[in-house]
Amino acid sequence: MMLKHRPHKAFKPFFLLISLAFLTSGSLLASEDYDVHAEDSTHQHGVNEEASAHATDHSEHEAEAFNAGDMIMHHVMDAYDIHLMDIGGHSVSIPLPVILYSTEDGLSVFLSSSFHHGHAAKNRYVLNHGHIYRLGLNNPFASSEEIHLEEAMSMGYSEQSWGGVFRGENGAFIDLSITKTVAGILITVLLMFIIFSKVAGAYKREGSNEAPKGFQALMETIILFIRDEIAKPSIGHKYERFMPFLLTIFFFIWIANILGLIPFIGGFNVTGNIAVTMVLALFTFVMTTVNGNKTYWGHIFATPGVPGWLLPLMIPIELLGVFTKPLVLCLRLFANITAGHIIILSFMSLIFIFADIYGAGAGYGASIVSLLFGVFMNVMELLVAFLQAYVFTLLSALYFGSAVEEHH
């Protein structure tokens, strides 16, 4: 174990830096912290009597092995803290507020640091593998914040004797926490307010007789691009009504995408989160449906040029199309951004996989290739960040265009 461990440790300072630089994720090296829970995946699936038996199988040997899959998923998924880096095995992270609501106990608001990385319960809530669970009333640490869940499990306490372990998804409580992704959303929103209040201020100050300057000019280029290349051709003369939405959605996605590419700030994955893209797509869906005119609905329920006997077939197809459009929007953005993050993380993981298998030298060797690919992918992702924002906005505009299109 120690022999295998050592090369990994020796890599730490060096790779800490480069991995942070490209991935914004110190969690590469967080395997100790993370792998403590590696065995009790049963928790995620709810009650499992074997959990306690498995828990004793924890060996430090396994704990030290680098698990690329875990690391990547840990980065890509949402979290209750912003993990900046690990220094000497201690994770440096910004705790975020956890807001939970259950019908029995009402609102619980506390910082995610109260969980002590899953080692402690708080108000019967526990954090395990990045998920919050609620313990039954009879759990051995209902009132305590000091008892380690993992230890209790290994001591033979079973979940059933506590009255069960509940998940938010099952309706036991509502999780309104400011997670990493929510923080990313709020940062994006804040940035947008700062940027565009400044830009709008410049417009108000300079008036229409002055040429735009500096940052204002940069933003104007993009705004004009959205107006002239997206809104006008896709929607037609009614484009003005949709401009605020299109601009908001474009800049939101773009800024959030870029936020996910900035190193050292915790590796946000806002637009690579399906809930975020779902909400964005739902907004487009609602806008399209609300603005749909006679021609739009006519195309769905009485497609012109289709013989009457085909309508029973056409109407379900067209109706399906109404819903698949936003679904595709949602999935495309989510998949593109998540895939980009996974690819970069995979390249970085290669370094540690090589180091684990062939020793430190191989790790250094692999790092050169990984770095080159990582840089390449990062630059690609910058392009993708813009492209996906563009595609989402363009398709939204096209849907709006079909909704307000006049009969011709």
Binding mask 85-114 for other proteins (x = CB under 8 A): --------------x---------------
Binding mask 21-60 for other proteins (x = CB under 8 A): ----------------------------------------
Nearest in space to 11 (alpha carbons), one of 350, 345, 352? 352
Subset of 213-242 contacting other proteins (CB under 8 A): 219-220, 223-224, 227, 240
Tell me how far apart the alpha carbons of residues 77 and 98 are, in angstroms, rounded to a whole number.
Answer: 16
Closest CB to other proteins among 283 and 297? 283
Piece in contact with other proteins (CB under 8 A), picked from 6-14, 75-83, 145-153, 319-327: 75-83
DSSP letter at 229?
Answer: I
Answer whether 233's CB lies under 8 Å from 242's CB. Answer: no
- The end-to-end CA distance of the chain, in Å, is 75
Subset of 254-283 contacting other proteins (CB under 8 A): 273-276, 278-280, 283
Whole-angstrom CA distances from 302 to 316, 324, 400 are 11, 19, 19
Nearest in space to 213 (alpha carbons), one of 221, 225, 252, 223? 221
Closest CB to other proteins among 103 and 208? 208
Q: Which residues are registered as beta bridge partners of 175?
A: 100
Is 208 an interacting residue with respect to other proteins (CB under 8 A)?
A: yes
Answer whether 11's CB lies under 8 Å from 251's CB. Answer: no
Closest CB to other proteins among 119 and 129? 129
Tell me how far apart the alpha carbons of residues 72 and 344 are, in angstroms, rounded to a whole number.
Answer: 9
Q: Which residues are registered as beta bridge partners of 102?
A: 106
Minimum Å gap between C-beta 206 and other proteins is 8
For residue 267, is it left (φ>0), alpha (ψ between -120 and 50) or beta?
left
Closest CB to other proteins among 93 and 273? 273
Is 81 an interacting residue with respect to other proteins (CB under 8 A)?
A: no
Is 175 an interacting residue with respect to other proteins (CB under 8 A)?
A: yes
Minimum Å gap between C-beta 208 and other proteins is 4
Applying CB under 8 A, among 60, 105, 169, 406 the residue interacting with other proteins is 169
CB atoms inside a 10 Å sphere around CB 157: 18
Is 245 an interacting residue with respect to other proteins (CB under 8 A)?
A: yes
Subset of 338-397 contacting other proteins (CB under 8 A): 338
Report how many residues bind other proteins under the rule CB under 8 A.
55
Is 203 an interacting residue with respect to other proteins (CB under 8 A)?
A: yes
Q: DSSP string of 148-189?
A: -HHHHHHTT--HHHHT-EEEGGGTS-EE----HHHHHHHHHH
Minimum Å gap between C-beta 51 and other proteins is 19
Structure tokens at 311: 């309508």
Half-sphere exposure of 264 (CA within 13 A, CB side): 3
Q: Can you give the binding site for other proteins, defined by CB under 8 A?
A: 73, 76-78, 99, 130-131, 168-169, 174-179, 181-182, 185-186, 188-189, 192-193, 196-197, 199-200, 203-204, 206-209, 219-220, 223-224, 227, 240, 243-245, 247-248, 252, 273-276, 278-280, 283, 334, 338
